Amino acid sequence: MPQAPRRIGVLTGGGDCPGLNAVIRAVTKSAIFDHGIEVFGIADGFLGLIEDRVRHLSADNVSNILTLGGTILGSSNRADPQRFAIGYDADGSPQFKDVTDDCMKTLRKYEIDTLAVIGGDGTMSGARNFVERGVNCIGLPKTIDNDLEGTDITFGFLTAVQIATDALDRLHTTASSHGRVMVVELMGRNAGWITLHAGVASGADVLLIPEIPYDLGSVRDFIKDRVARGKRCSIVCVSEGARAKGGKQVVARLDPTSPDPVRLGGIGAQLAGEIERVTNIETRATVLGHVVRGGTPVSADRVLGTQFGHHAVRLIAEGKRNRLVVMKDNRLTDVDITVAANTQRLVPADHHLIAAAKAVGTCFGD
């Protein structure tokens, strides 16, 4: 069996989410208690490697963080070592530089043998850069969007769904009181997992996800039919990446310095205006936005994060290289880390939850 590394580094990349600290805790304590491996925390994702911001983590450092949201290490979704923004040209265009050599220098300085990389598809894409440089990277799947290829679920997703469900439950009562249509915009980028699960859990009437382009006429007819049947309100749950048939996603802004420059947002307000226009029913829009990313993780995410962290350290101790910890068919396993790079796991059109939702009368606008 290959010799276990003496030192590992752990970082959290991409957007924050509930459950990150549970993973950091599990990785650190499992490494120290089970294998005598030293652990170093890298601040703000790959940015900590670029700027040499690394600190030793002890078991005490990660005690009592299981219930905390966010990440004690900090995170960044802008620090791509291969395309790191260093300034602007005279015409205002951003300048980029490959600073991977700076990261490698930091790893050598602290004699870090392996990186435990916690993140989504962007972070795993960044990890591939280090894999190609000979650095062993063990990935742990994090994203509220649940869109990471290779795994059935990512930690952070279940908490986001619970927060969104709670909000939708509350909006039901105010929508009913006023006889309104309430449009709720949810995160998810190009995947509709949060909208699908929270919408079904809350009994939303219309679910619009990126994978199924919607027809405004179908939504209009569905809502007007509800009114005809005596329903006082309708709840429309829409993914930020949803779009009308033949239309485009609504983009809030572009950030040319970011590895993922497109910032989606605005579909909720746009759709609310369109629904009010075609139905003549008062319609309001609510954007939950980053609120679904924050706060205390639900128990399931704490458990999942702990399992992922422990399994990652076991792989490291066994000398496994460049693996991604995943949950497949309710079984903890691992796949090649490059499987999750530069790709997204979308909701299949024939997904069983879509069929179940349609069976109970939910409209998908198709």
- pTM, 2 dp: 0.95
Query: For residue 350, what pLDDT is reported?
Result: 95
The pLDDT-based confidence of 342 (bands split at 50, 70, 90) is confident
Assess whether pLDDT exceeds 90 at residue 46: yes
What pLDDT, on a 0 to 100 scale, did the predictor assign at position 92? 83
The pLDDT of residue 4 is above 90? no
Q: How confident is the model at residue 5 (pLDDT cuts 50, 70, 90)?
A: confident
Residue 197: phi, psi to the nearest 5? Answer: -70, -45
Please determine, for residue 330, whether its predicted confidence score (pLDDT) is greater than 80: yes
Can 145 be counted among the known catalytic residues?
Answer: yes
Active-site entry in 16, 80, 145, 301: 145
- Reported as type and span, the H/E element at residue 264 is strand 262-264
Helix, strand or coil, per DSSP, at residue 277 = helix
What is the pLDDT, as a whole number, of residue 2? 61
What is the average pLDDT across 219-243?
97
Q: Look at residue 292 in the predicted model and tell me its pLDDT.
A: 96
Contacts for 304 with CB less than 8 Å, ≥ 6 apart: 19, 153, 155, 158, 327
Rounded to whole angstroms, the Cα distance separating 130 from 42 reads: 15
For 300-311, what is the mean pLDDT? Answer: 98
| Torsion (CA) 159, 124, 61, 47 in degrees, nearest 10 | -120
> Mean pLDDT throughout 352-356?
98
Summarised one tens digit per residue, pLDDT across range 108-128 is 999 999 999 999 998 999 999
What CATH superfamily classification does 158-294 receive? Phosphofructokinase domain (3.40.50.460)
Q: Which is more confident, 358 or 260?
A: 358
pLDDT at 257 over 90: no
Q: What pLDDT sits at residue 54?
A: 98
Q: For the chain, which residues make up each domain, given as ranges?
A: 7-155+297-340, 158-294
Tokens of 179: 């006889």
For residue 296, pLDDT beyond 60 = yes
pLDDT at 67: 96
For residues 41-50, give the mean pLDDT: 97
Residues 6+ away with beta carbon under 8 Å from 278 = 216, 217, 220
Quick: pLDDT tens for 47-58: 999 999 999 999
Tokens encoding 118: 């916690």
Identify the band that residue 3 occupies on the pLDDT scale cut at 50, 70 and 90.
low
CA distance 54 to 277: 55
Could you tell me how many residues make up the chain? 366
Encoding tokens for residue 365?
């606008």
**Considering the chain, what is the average pLDDT of its residues?**
95
The CATH number, out of the four listed (3.90.1150.10, 3.10.180.10, 3.40.50.450, 3.20.20.70), of the domain defined by the range 7-155+297-340 = 3.40.50.450
Decide: helix, strand or coil at residue 77.
coil
Establish whether domains 7-155+297-340 and 158-294 are of one fold.
Answer: yes
Give phi and psi for 153, each to the nearest 5.
-155, 150
Q: Which helix (H) or strand (E) holds 285?
A: strand 283-287
pLDDT for 1: 53
Tokens of 46: 């790959």
